[in-house]
């Protein structure tokens, strides 16, 4: 049996409030979860910057160190 166009439209309109309720219920759940999120402040880490001192190394010392490492 076929439904008339009027019954189809009335049935569709009757379900609209139910769909709106479901969408608002899901939206409310997500909003309550979002309100529980903890906000973390971005802080600048306290790091002490140290300068690196460069020393001059003689070629003889380099060769001696390489020989010691190979043994």
Owner of token pair 């049935």: 11
pLDDT value, residue 33: 76
DSSP state of 19: H
The answer to whether the predicted template modeling score (pTM) of the entire model surpasses 0.85 is no
pLDDT band for 26, please (50, 70, 90 cuts). Answer: very high
Rounded Cα distance, 33 and 68, in Å = 64
Domain boundaries, the chain: 5-70
Task: Please determine, for residue 57, whether its predicted confidence score (pLDDT) is greater than 60.
Answer: no
pLDDT of residue 65: 58
CA distance 22 to 40: 33
Region 16-40 average pLDDT? 85
């Amino acid at each position: 049996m076929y439904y008339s166009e009027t019954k189809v439209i009335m049935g569709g309109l009757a379900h609209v409030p139910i769909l709106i309720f479901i969408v608002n219920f899901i939206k409310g759940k997500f909003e309550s979860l979002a309100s529980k999120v903890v906000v973390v402040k971005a802080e600048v880490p306290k790091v002490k910057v140290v300068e690196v001192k460069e020393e001059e190394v003689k070629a003889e010392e380099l060769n001696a160190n390489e020989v010691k490492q190979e043994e």
